[in-house]
Amino acid sequence: MRLAAVASLLLALAGCQTNGADTTGGVVRTNEPSKGDVTSFGDAFDGLKTVSNVEYYASDQAVAEAKNQFRAENYGNAGALFFKATQLAPNDGGAWMGLAASCDRIHRFDLADRAYSRAFRLVGASPEYYNNVGYSYLLRGKLQDARSNFLKAYELAPNDPTVANNLKLLSSSVQNIER
């Protein structure tokens, strides 16, 4: 019985061998069609776009769902979806900012700091970045650090209502601080 199984396996493997002739000339094919290639419908590739020009990426859906969860104040779910988006698209600065903000809201400031660090490398010194970092420090009770980040955001975007509201929130926090 075993001998028959081994013999049939060897016969099947013998059919998989090639004659060693390289029919591609050592060229590795990409997803770009060559001149003269046709689609499976017999049409030419002329005018067709390949996947390199797509406008939708797999992380888009995760980011959209994460933003909905964040707006609904489901910060744990939002964080999980933003994390998924960062895994699908590691260079998506918006996903890293969302992950950091979600971590702030569940008081995982260690993870928020790591996400903000990665976001800064991707989005740079933007008003949104400084505003979010300032809000993170506000949640932690580090009011001086919050103020310096809010002021940096205000310098970059003086007409941004979110930054102005956060500066007002900070001033009310300073007035109502318990000692």
DSSP 108-154: -HHHHHHHHHHHHHHH-S-HHHHHHHHHHHHHHT-HHHHHHHHHHHH
Query: Is residue 32 one of the residues assigned to a domain?
Result: no
Q: Averaged over 7-25, what is the pLDDT?
A: 50
Task: Render pLDDT for 68-120 as a digit per residue (tens, 0 to 9).
Answer: 999 999 999 999 999 999 998 899 999 999 999 999 999 999 999 999 999 99
Instruction: Decide if 87 is inside a domain.
Output: yes
Q: Could you list the residue range(s) of the whole structural domain that residue 148 is in? A: 125-179
Asked if residue 40 is part of any domain, the answer here is: no
User: What's the predicted TM-score (pTM) here?
Assistant: 0.66
* Judgement on whether residues 63 and 116 belong to the same structural domain of the protein: yes
The answer to whether residue 16 sits within a structural domain is no
Q: Kindly state whether residue 135 falls inside one of the protein's structural domains.
A: yes
Domain count, the chain: 2
Mean pLDDT computed over 150-177: 85
CATH number at residue 130: 1.25.40
pLDDT of residue 49: 53
Instruction: Judge whether 8 lies within some domain.
Output: no
Residues 85 and 71 occupy one common structural domain? yes
pLDDT digits (tens, 9 = 90+) for 111-153: 999 999 999 999 999 999 999 999 999 999 999 999 999 999 9
Q: Does a structural domain hold residue 63?
A: yes
Burial of 108 (0-12, 13-18, 19+ CB in 10 A): middle
Q: What is the CATH number for 63?
A: 1.25.40.10
Task: Concatenate the DSSP letters of all residues of 4-52 into one string.
Answer: HHHHHHHHHHHTT---S--SSTTPPP-SSPPTT-B-TTS-B-TT---GG
Instruction: Confirm whether 25 is domain-assigned.
Output: no
What residue type is assigned to position 121 of the chain?
A: R
Rounded to the nearest integer, the mean pLDDT of the chain is: 79
C-alpha closest to that of 76 among 107, 113, 120, 110: 107
Same domain, 119 and 129: no
Co-location of 63 and 98 in the same domain: yes
Grade residue 60 by pLDDT with cuts at 50, 70 and 90. Answer: confident
